[in-house]
């Protein structure tokens, strides 16, 4: 085997592709000797640009005669840009094939140019996967010579009647020259193995990468941050609040203190008549808090399902699960949003309900529409088919939207009654000027630093999985990091809210939301660093998809963290004002 062939065997991530994708017969994943095995081809694209993929036959490979069978998987697989096509290469279960001809490929100037462009951009092909060709030094000149791999050596490991693993090596490089004809060949070798069908996917899991000491250390470090931060919040705030309660109790009983000039007083108690004043743009705040509460439950649910069901085994299973679970959890967003909107005296509940049900889906749709337009222009498989868009819309219109409506109605009736501990005064209290670090904008931007610090190592592993062909399987780590993120976000936001109220600024609602949501801003900044330092992506197509998908992710993360921060601060504010004597 040539060096290139040995190198390519490392990338033989297979789909054989075997009837029902990977894996065996359509119904029971089992074969009899001599049963036909379908060899599916999928897509090609630049190796450094994971999202820039095209139909396998966009390159002038040997095309099967007639109209070959196409296979589309579930919703998530289609959204991932997969389109399996029957190559009609003859393979039978446990029957070795010596070097056999697939077809004779006559080269024209146009075909040579297509192959050369693909080789120069390191195109890989997915069945899953190998490289189209490579550049070899030319002994007769200083330039490199383009060669095309003409032989596919397929090694299939099986256990009794089930296919376990497929390894593809590309061999026999031939120079690309106009006017020549290349023999495209393949061979198949069947090898028994003791690996069970349930463990067939383990070969693709990068244990040294994901279970490296750095990963464990980051989890331990974040956990220690949680202990320190929760202890700090408990000690400082409880001690400070206890002193404040004692001080205000003395003032209420001391006539001389009551006669003091009010201008000399300060503290969070002074804004008790304004702290429960409805926030500006209540409709939007209710919508984002409701959506964020839904996303928090959704992420927790998907992570648990991924742990229990090993969803990483199926292509697109995570995306499909996310979409279905999003629709089914829409009741939560309506319930939280509707209850919050009614408690603050909102009257346009239908407007609030529609905004809650459509806010996040339509933001994703707007970004997806732009990316889809780019993909269509480039002729990429990343373009979402019209039928798939219809399916997603139907799921939203007939499952997500009605559940959000039901949640809003239930939320208004069950938890929509005003229950503020302090009466809101008619005239708003003027907010005194304070030092710059106590302004809402600074509190908001500083609030996301610690939550980002607790997750940024995990962000590296997530980004590497999505953009560098690694299978993310450590969802136990993700669950711990998610819980740590929630706890740190709540603690940091409560501290920021206390400082803001102590500065006699009662506009805490939006400040607490943005303070927690700013975590997503730092994640996006990190993604820019990751793009330029950790990847070799290039071109307008991949750049658009990278930053478009990252923006979609960060918007969801920001809404999620913001809602968690607001809800935590809301509980804190209600708790501290419940224990004081209000006029």
**In the numeric block, which tokens belong to residue 542?**
């991949």
Secondary structure letter of residue 92 according to DSSP: B
Sequence-distant (≥ 6) Cβ neighbours of residue 482 within 8 angstroms: 299, 300, 303
Gap between the Cα atoms of 36 and 41, Å rounded: 16
Which residue in the block uniquely carries the two structure tokens 């991924």? 306
Long-range CB contacts for residues 482-487, cutoff 8 Å, separation at least 24: 482/299, 482/300, 482/303, 484/222, 484/223, 484/225, 484/226, 484/454, 484/455, 485/451, 485/454, 485/455, 485/519, 485/561, 486/296, 486/564, 487/226, 487/229, 487/230
Residues 6 or more apart whose Cβ sits within 8 Å of residue 51: 81, 380, 382, 541, 542, 545, 546, 549
Distance of CA 169 to the CA centre of its chain: 32
Which residue, among 578, 562, 583, has the nearest Cα to 279 in the 3D structure? 562
Quote the pLDDT of residue 171.
Answer: 87
Q: What is the pTM of this model?
A: 0.84
Confidence at residue 333, expressed as pLDDT on a 0 to 100 scale: 96
Q: Tell the residue number behind the tokens 């279970």, with chain if given.
A: 211
Which tokens belong to 35? 């049963």
CB contact at 8 A, 511 and 443 = yes
The pLDDT profile of the chain, 583 residues, written as one tens digit per residue, is 333 333 233 233 333 333 333 334 444 568 888 888 888 888 888 888 888 889 888 888 888 877 777 776 677 777 777 778 888 888 888 899 998 998 889 999 999 999 889 888 888 877 643 345 566 666 565 567 788 888 989 898 998 888 888 888 888 888 888 888 999 999 999 999 998 887 877 777 777 777 767 777 778 877 787 787 777 777 767 777 777 667 666 655 554 554 444 444 457 888 888 888 989 899 999 999 999 999 999 999 999 999 887 776 666 788 889 999 999 999 999 999 999 999 888 888 899 999 999 999 999 999 999 999 999 999 998 888 888 899 999 999 999 999 999 999 999 988 777 888 888 888 888 888 878 788 889 999 999 998 998 898 889 889 988 888 788 888 888 999 999 999 999 999 998 998 899 888 889 999 999 999 999 999 999 999 999 999 989 999 999 999 999 999 999 999 999 999 999 999 999 888 887 766 5
Ranges of beta strands (E only) in 11-96 are 40-41, 43-46, 54-55, 70-71, 84-86
Q: Is 186 in a helix, a strand, or coil?
A: strand
478 neighbors 465 (Cβ within 8 angstroms) = no
Name 97's bridge partners.
188
Q: Which element (helix H / strand E) includes 325?
A: helix 317-328
Could you tell me where the beta strands, DSSP code E, fall in 1-121? Answer: 40-41, 43-46, 54-55, 70-71, 84-86, 97-106
SS3 for 533?
Answer: helix
Residue 403: both structure tokens together: 């559940």
| Residue with token string 């690996």 | 195
* Rounded Cα distance, 548 and 148, in Å: 34
The C-alpha atoms of residue 486 and residue 560 are separated, in whole angstroms, by: 9
């Amino acid at each position: 085997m040539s060096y290139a062939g040995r190198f390519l065997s490392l990338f033989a991530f297979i789909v054989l592709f075997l009837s029902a994708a990977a894996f065996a017969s359509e119904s029971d994943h089992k074969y009899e000797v001599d049963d036909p095995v379908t060899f599916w081809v999928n897509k090609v694209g630049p190796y450094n640009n994971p999202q820039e993929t095209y139909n396998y036959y966009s390159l002038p490979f040997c095309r099967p005669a007639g109209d070959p069978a196409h296979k589309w998987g579930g919703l998530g697989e289609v959204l991932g840009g997969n389109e399996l096509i029957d190559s009609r290469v003859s393979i039978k279960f446990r029957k070795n094939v010596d070097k056999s001809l697939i077809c004779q490929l006559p080269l024209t100037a146009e075909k040579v140019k297509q192959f050369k462009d693909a080789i120069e951009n390191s195109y890989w092909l997915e069945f899953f996967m190998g490289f189209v060709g490579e550049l070899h030094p030319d002994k007769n000149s200083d330039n490199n010579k383009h060669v095309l791999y003409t032989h596919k050596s397929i090694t299939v490991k099986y256990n009794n009647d089930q296919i376990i693993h497929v390894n593809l090596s590309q061999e026999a490089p031939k120079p690309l020259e106009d006017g020549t004809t290349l023999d495209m060949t393949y061979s198949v070798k069947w090898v028994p193995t003791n690996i069970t069908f349930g463990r067939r996917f383990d070969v693709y899991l990068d244990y040294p990468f994901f279970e490296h000491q750095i990963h464990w250390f980051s989890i331990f470090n974040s956990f220690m941050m949680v202990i320190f931060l929760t202890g700090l919040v408990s000690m400082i705030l409880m001690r400070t609040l206890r002193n404040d309660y004692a001080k205000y109790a003395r003032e209420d009983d001391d006539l001389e203190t009551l006669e003091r000039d009010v201008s000399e007083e300060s503290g969070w108690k002074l804004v008790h008549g304004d702290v429960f004043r409805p926030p500006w743009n209540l409709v939007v705040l209710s919508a984002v808090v409701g959506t964020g509460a839904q996303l928090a439950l959704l992420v927790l649910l998907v992570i648990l399902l991924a742990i229990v069901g090993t969803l990483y085994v199926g292509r697109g299973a995570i995306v499909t699960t996310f979409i279905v679970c999003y629709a089914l959890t829409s009741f939560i967003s309506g319930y939280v949003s509707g209850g919050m909107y009614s408690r603050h005296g909102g009257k346009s509940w239908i407007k609030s309900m529609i905004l809650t049900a459509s806010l996040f889906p339509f933001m994703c749709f707007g970004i997806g529409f732009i990316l889809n337009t780019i993909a269509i222009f480039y002729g990429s498989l990343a373009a979402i088919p019209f039928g798939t868009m219809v399916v997603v819309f139907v799921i939203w219109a007939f499952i997500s939207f009605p559940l959000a409506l039901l949640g809003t109605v239930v939320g208004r009736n069950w938890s929509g009654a005003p229950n503020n501990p302090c009466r809101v005064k008619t005239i708003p209290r003027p907010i005194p000027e304070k030092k710059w670090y106590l302004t809402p904008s600074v509190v908001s931007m500083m609030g996301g630093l610690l939550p980002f610090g607790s997750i940024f190592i995990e962000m590296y592993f997530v980004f590497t999985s999505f953009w560098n062909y690694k299978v993310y399987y450590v969802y136990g780590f993700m669950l711990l990091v998610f819980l740590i993120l929630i706890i740190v976000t709540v603690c940091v936001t409560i501290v920021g809210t206390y400082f803001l109220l102590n500065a006699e600024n009662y506009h805490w609602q939006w400040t607490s939301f943005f303070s927690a949501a700013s975590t997503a801003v730092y994640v996006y900044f990190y993604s820019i660093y990751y793009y330029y330092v950790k990847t070799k992506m290039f071109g307008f197509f991949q750049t658009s998809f990278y930053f478009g998908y990252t923006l979609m992710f960060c918007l969801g993360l920001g809404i999620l963290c913001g809602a968690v921060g607001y809800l935590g601060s809301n509980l804190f504010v209600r708790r501290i004002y419940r224990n004081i004597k209000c006029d």
